[in-house]
Chain A
Amino acid sequence: MANRLAAALSEAWDSDLAWSFRHSPWAMAAAAVFLACVGAAMLAPWVSPHNPFDLAQLDLSNSLKPPAWIDGGDPSFPLGTDDQGRDILSTIFYGARISLEVGVAAVLFSTVLGVALGLVAGYVGGRIDAFIMRVADVQLSFPAILVALLIDGVARAVLPGAHDSLAFWVLVLAIGVSGWVQYARTVRGSTMVEKNKEYVQAARLFGIHPLAIMARHVLPNVLGPVLVIATIHIATAIITEATLSFLGVGVPPTEPSLGTLIRIGNDFMFSGEWWVTLFPGLALVIMVLAINLLGDWLRDALNPRLR
């Protein structure tokens, strides 16, 4: 009975979501853009005209070519090239791939960390709860970018020389660690509500660890909010990655991400090679905007009261 009810409810929930999606042109457009970004990024090696990360393919004589439709442009470089002769279009694809990989991996890391800590804090309560939430409070006062920079700096000190090869994981760690608080807070709240329900007490009688059964009951409850946080967090993570790369502490310059390209292009602000900054900048903003729109829509759809 309860199962059937749950099934019916979840079906209604699903269809509500689907309905809201079908009737939100922004959400659909955002999803289309996002899917296109993901597709281009995932298929970068196949859809890109060039491989900008293969140094042997770069040729300085191709450097700073304007987009194909402008005088002096070369059709094999549709959006032009940067100072090293990298095809901008291909680099956007490959760079978006790095951005998305970093974003998704960091968000997964945050989610797992945050959900686990939230569950423990909410369930165990007392000092552990106080400690975890206090740490969360403290960390909340440090913006993600600062925490990420700090971790990056520490990684540099701990792994001199090896930093570049580990840059990706350092980024994931840095951005991931900086974002767990929101998840923990949401899950903790929900856990505290569930904690006193009878089935948790009953679980003890059956010899199941209450935390295990709670995880099973709490997780579906917080799925919606966590999904919303995660979506918006991906956008934040991508911006953070771009910012770190822009500051020159992100990925190595030989494998530029969108932020790196923007930084490179920044040096050509006066010399007329606007395409080096403009296209990666646009790609970044469009991708992040699409994700944010999706997140916004998801939040409204899951929480109709806020509309």
Chain B
Amino acid sequence: MTAFVIRRLLQAIVVMLVVAFVAFSLFQYVGDPVQLMMGQFATPADRIRLTHELGLDQPFYVQFFHFVVNALHGQFGVSLRIGKPVSVLLAQRLPATLELSICAALLALAAGIPAGVYAGLRPNSWLARTAMSASLLGVSLPTFLIGILLILVFAVKLGWLPAFGRGDVVHLGGWSTGLLTRSGLLSLIMPTITLGLFQLTLIMRLVRSEMLEVLRADYIKFARARGLSDRAVNFGHALKNTLVPVITITGLQLGSIIAFSIITEQVFQWPGMGLLFVQAVSYADIPVMAAYLCLIALVFVVINLIVDLLYYVVDPRLRIDRAGASGH
């Protein structure tokens, strides 16, 4: 168990270093940070001083080391666009993005898995066929179009839901939450649907095809041949085996929801990290981009670790020491 976790942790660290390297390269080599940070009143002496202050005259590995150390302390420099420390900007916007992403993920899971199981068990029923067709439409509808349509119907025509923003938020310590106010909850509805819908269709299609795959497996056939009830076969055997691949891919999907929220946040002017990132891209605000990249990678790594641990719980093949097997 510990060996497994340690191995996973080491892999996670390698991944983080790779991403950090990409971010670092962006940071140090894309554009000229000195030029970007210097104003019209800069003199050559200022330029040399700043180059030195930024450590740009040091060898590459020293710079990378400093970058990683700073990153570990949450220091990603100052936004070129807003002029505030990137860490502060991201921290201000993290709660908004996380709340939206988690709600969207819950929606996608809560609706996607049962729908997928149903469509897998009854692939020929009209409901399953309708759901599959609808999911194809769901995959074909760009997220921003879904958002616009929702706004058009529920905010503009019907006036039921707010068209933008988070509504009123409550500050609990350093965390701002929209979950505790009526306007905050109402504001959450449309972005959640917009963001969750695509993932929902993906998860549903995934669960369905895994279910179909598992239902064809020999052990399912054998379970039926032993006369087990349909219930035991479908939900006892098939579903649990479906879960193994579904956990992995769903985990990855959920990680990507946070990054996907870029579009939703733009459409609904949701004050999260994604909105910050889009603005950073159009401004070529490299520090923000680099920090966002690292943050998303961190989320990915954490989710991956959780997925691995879940795997560990679900699949005995990982849990039991191979040495115990009686080979021949």
A–B proximity contact (CB within 8 A): yes
Q: Select one of B145, B156, B252, B280 contacting A153, CB under 8 A.
A: B280
Contact with B along A135-154 (1 / 0, CB 8 A): 10110111101100110111
Q: How far is the CA of A293 from the CA of B140 in the complex (A)?
A: 9
Is B151 positioned at the interface, with any CB of A under 8 Å from its CB? yes
In the assembled complex, B142 has its CB within 8 A of some CB on chain A: yes
Q: Residues of B contacting A285 with CB < 8 Å?
A: 137, 140-142, 145
**Residue from A160, A243, A292 having most chain B Cβ neighbours under 10 A:** A243
Residues of A within 8 A of B (CB): 134-135, 137-138, 140-143, 145-146, 149-150, 152-154, 156-158, 160, 235, 239, 242-243, 246-249, 259, 262, 266, 269-270, 277, 281, 284-285, 288-289, 292-293, 296, 305-306
A157 touches B259 (CB 8 A): no
Per the 8 Å Cβ criterion, residues 15-30 of B in contact with A are: 15, 18-19, 26, 30
Chain B residues near A134 (CB-CB < 8 A):
11, 14-15, 18
If A138-B15, A152-B281, A305-B216 touch, does A266 touch B148 (CB 8 Å cutoff)? yes
- Tell whether, in the assembled complex, residue A145 and residue B262 are in contact, meaning their CB atoms are under 8 Å apart: yes
The answer, among B142, B286, B300, for a CB contact under 8 Å with A243, is B142
10 A-B pairs closest in CB distance: A141-B300, A153-B281, A157-B284, A157-B31, A289-B140, A156-B284, A288-B140, A146-B259, A143-B256, A157-B30
Name the CB-closest residue of B to A299. B209
| A138 vs B15: C-alpha distance when bound (angstroms) | 7
Which residues of A sit under 8 angstroms from B144, Cβ to Cβ?
242-243, 246-247, 259, 262
Indicate if the CB atoms of B282 and A156 lie closer than 8 Å. Answer: yes
Report the bound CA distance from A157 to B280 in whole Å. Answer: 11
Cβ contact of A284, chosen from B142, B209, B303, cutoff 8 A: B142
Which residues does B use to contact A, with CB under 8 Å?
A: 11, 14-15, 18-19, 26, 30-31, 136-137, 139-145, 148, 151-152, 156, 209, 212-213, 216, 252, 255-256, 259-260, 262-263, 266, 277-278, 280-282, 284-286, 289, 293, 296-297, 300, 303-304
Known: A135-B18, A248-B282, A289-B136. A145 touches B260 (CB 8 A): yes
Q: A247-B266, A269-B148 are in contact. Are A142 and B259 (CB under 8 A)?
A: yes
Query: Could you show 7 A-B contacts with beta carbons less than 8 Å apart?
Result: A138-B297, A138-B300, A141-B256, A143-B259, A154-B284, A247-B282, A262-B145
Question: Given A146-B296, A306-B209 in contact, is the A262-B284 Cβ separation under 8 Å?
Answer: no
CA distance A238 to B144 in the complex (A): 13
A145 and B263 contacting across the interface, CB-CB below 8 Å: yes
**Chain A residues near B296 (CB-CB < 8 A):** 141-142, 146
* Apart from the given pairs A156-B282, A292-B136, 9 other A-B contacts in the complex at a CB distance below 8 Å: A138-B19, A150-B289, A248-B282, A285-B137, A285-B140, A289-B136, A292-B140, A293-B136, A306-B209
B156, A154: Cβ atoms closer than 8 Å: no
B18 nearest in chain A by CB position: A138
A276 and B260 alpha carbons, distance in the complex (Å): 26
- Determine the distance from Cα of A239 to Cα of B209 in the docked complex, in whole angstroms: 24
Q: Do A150 and B293 form a contact, CB below 8 Å, given A142-B256, A249-B281?
A: yes
Cα distance, A266 to B266, chains bound together (Å): 13
CA of A191 to CA of B213 in the docked complex: distance in angstroms? 23
Report the minimum CB–CB distance from A264 to chain B (whole Å).
12
A243 touches B284 (CB 8 A): no
Contact (Cβ within 8 A) B26 A154: yes
B11 — nearest CB in chain A belongs to which residue? Answer: A134
Interfacial chain A residues near B212, Cβ < 8 Å:
306
- Kindly state the separation between the CA atoms of A143 and B202 in the bound complex, as whole angstroms: 13
Min Cβ gap A243→B in Å is: 6
Contacting residues, chain B, for A157 (C-beta < 8 A): 30-31, 284, 286
Residues of B close to A266: CB separation below 8 A:
148
B137 adjacent to A289 (CB under 8 Å): yes
Cα separation A152 to B30 with both chains bound (whole Å): 12
Bound-complex Cα distance A28 to B224 (A): 38
- Do B148 and A239 have beta carbons less than 8 Å apart? no
Q: Which residues of A contact B30 (CB under 8 A)?
A: 154, 157-158
Q: Are B262 and A160 in contact (CB under 8 A)?
A: no
Cβ–Cβ contact B277 & A149, under 8 A: yes
Known contacts A269-B148, A305-B216: A249-B282 contact under CB 8 Å: yes
A54 to B278, CA, bound (A): 29
Q: Known contacts A269-B156, A296-B136; is A247 also within 8 Å of B216 by CB?
A: no
For A265, the closest partner residue in chain B by CB is B148
Taken together as a complex, chains A and B put the C-alpha atoms of A141 and B303 apart, in Å, by: 10
Q: Nearest A residue to B260 by beta-carbon distance?
A: A143
* Identity of the chain B residue whose Cβ is nearest the Cβ of A286 in the assembled complex: B140
Q: A150 vs B278: C-alpha distance in the bound complex, in angstroms?
A: 9
Instruction: Return the chain A residue nearest B304 by Cβ.
Output: A141
- Cα distance A259–B144 in the bound complex, in angstroms: 9
Whether the pair B252, A141 counts as a contact (CB closer than 8 A) is yes
Whole-angstrom distance between the Cβ of A162 and the nearest chain B Cβ: 13
**Residues in B whose Cβ lies below 8 Å from that of A246:** 142, 144, 263, 266
Question: A196 CA to B13 CA in the complex, in Å?
Answer: 34
Q: How far is the CA of A141 from the CA of B293 in the complex (A)?
A: 11
Minimum C-beta distance from A248 to chain B (A): 6
Q: How far is the CB of A241 from chain B (nearest CB, A)?
A: 10
In the assembled complex, the CB of A234 is this many whole angstroms from the nearest CB of chain B, namely: 12
Q: Are A156 and B281 in contact (CB under 8 A)?
A: yes
Tell me which residues across on chain B come within 8 A of A269, comparing CB atoms: 148, 151-152, 156
Specify which of A152, A156, A158, A262 is in contact with B148 (CB 8 Å cutoff): A262
Pairwise interchain contact A146-B262, C-beta atoms closer than 8 A: yes
Complex contact A153–B140 (CB within 8 A): no
